[in-house]
Amino acid sequence: MPRALTVADRPPAPGLAPDAGGRRLPRILHPVAWWIWALSLATAVSRTNNPLLLFLVLAVLGYVVTVRRTEAPWARGFKYYLYLALSVVTIRVFFRAVFATGVTPRDHFFFSLPHIPTPHWYAGIQLGGPVSLEALLSAATDGLRLACMLCCIGAANTLANPKRALRVLPGALYELGVAVTVSLSVAPQLVQSVQRVHRAKRLRAGRSKGLRALRGIVVPVLEDALERSLRLAAAMDSRGYGRAGSATRRSRRATGALMLLGMCGLCAGAYGLLDATAPRPLGLPTMGAGALLCFAGLRLGGRRVTRTAYRPDPWRSPEWAVAGCGVLSAVLLFAGAGFDAAELNPSIYPLSWPALPWVPAAAILLAGAAGFLAPPPAPPVRPAGPAQRTEEPQ
């Protein structure tokens, strides 16, 4: 007799390897790999002011996000980061036009704003006046670089599961990570609540548009948010969130001192690396000492938090490949081998189309290899229904 089987469309476990045929099974990439890739690309962006390379970075981010994002609520927010990036460029150009610095004889006059006189104690800052094309292009390029950095962070938030990223945080940062994870998941959950209430009103033939429909949408959404908050608080309380553990006052003070000194060392080391005129010991040695102090503080603070992980995310060759291509891209741009460093930051004068250096462009395209080096995302889990029952012969 044939027997009925239920075929559920469920993704494989996160630790599954390729099957016998060599195909890569869908799984979620380790969130730390995506963050290393995105932060490395943002570091590479900080090295250049070439608009062609910056647009190439945006194209790489769009490609990787398109082919490797999941269907989760947080994976749909990359377009909002693009809107934010466009706003940053617009605000940067607007302020450069308002706080004009005048037009020199070698500049191309573009337009003029009404000049507002300023008091003597406000000397050095001019409101309004003539605006040059070179000033606007320089402001747009600076804003575009900051916009690319924001999009790199947005790509990491889109590709990396924030709840899985919380599981790999050090114990000392667990409480801070919980707060960040909850705050990041508020907006997607509110969007889901609004969509659910809107569909329910349409099914009941109620008013779904206009100001009169706002009351019927806001009240159920607020009620849903309150119930979700109560459930979250009960779940956190049942899991012992916020317990002090066995840490003494002396260990907490030592942890805070180590973390503070370590962060100061990291900031000073980053300044020393970015400033070519800074003393050499202020660069890499200071950053290394700060990293060691931070690591010691995290280890000391993590002793009071004991956590277990069910089915931890694996770190295999795809994770190494994705993180490695991002780090290699940043290293190539900072090394400056095979190209002129001036090509990364072309001058506005004379006004001309910037050149595209091939080595930095290839380094950025190398970061785009994460789109096919990472495994395909796991499909959403759907419960098995009657239509999914098949007959298997005896």
**246, two tokens:** 């066995």
CB 171, CB 302: distance < 8 Å? yes
Of 100 and 21, the one with more pLDDT: 100
pLDDT of residue 12: 45
Share of the chain above pLDDT 70, in %: 73
pLDDT digits (tens, 9 = 90+) for 280-291: 777 778 888 888
pLDDT of residue 77: 79
Q: Is the pLDDT of residue 387 over 50?
A: no
How far apart, in Å, do the first and last CA atoms of the chain sit? 6
pLDDT digits (tens, 9 = 90+) for 61-102: 999 999 988 887 667 778 888 999 999 999 998 888 887 766
**284, two tokens:** 């890499």
pLDDT of residue 3: 44
pLDDT of residue 63: 94
pLDDT of residue 1: 43
Of 41 and 251, the one with more pLDDT: 41
Handedness of CA 242, 248, 250, 254 (dihedral sign): negative
CB 247, CB 304: distance < 8 Å? yes
pLDDT of residue 271: 80
Q: Is the pLDDT of residue 165 over 60?
A: yes
Round to whole Å and give the CA distance between 103 and 82. Answer: 32
Average pLDDT over the chain, rounded to an integer: 76
Round to whole Å and give the CA distance between 296 and 262. Answer: 9
Residue appearing with tokens 């159920």 = 220
> pTM for the complete prediction?
0.70
Bridge partners of residue 111, in order along the sequence: 131
pLDDT of residue 320: 93
- pLDDT band at 349; cut points 50, 70, 90: confident
**Which ranges in 99-160 belong to alpha helices (H)?**
133-159
Of 57 and 249, the one with more pLDDT: 57
For residues 19, 22, 27, 29, the Cα torsion angle rounded to the nearest 10 degrees is: 130
Residue 144: count other Cβ atoms within 10 Å of its Cβ: 23
Round to whole Å and give the CA distance between 327 and 322. Answer: 9
Of 259 and 91, the one with more pLDDT: 91
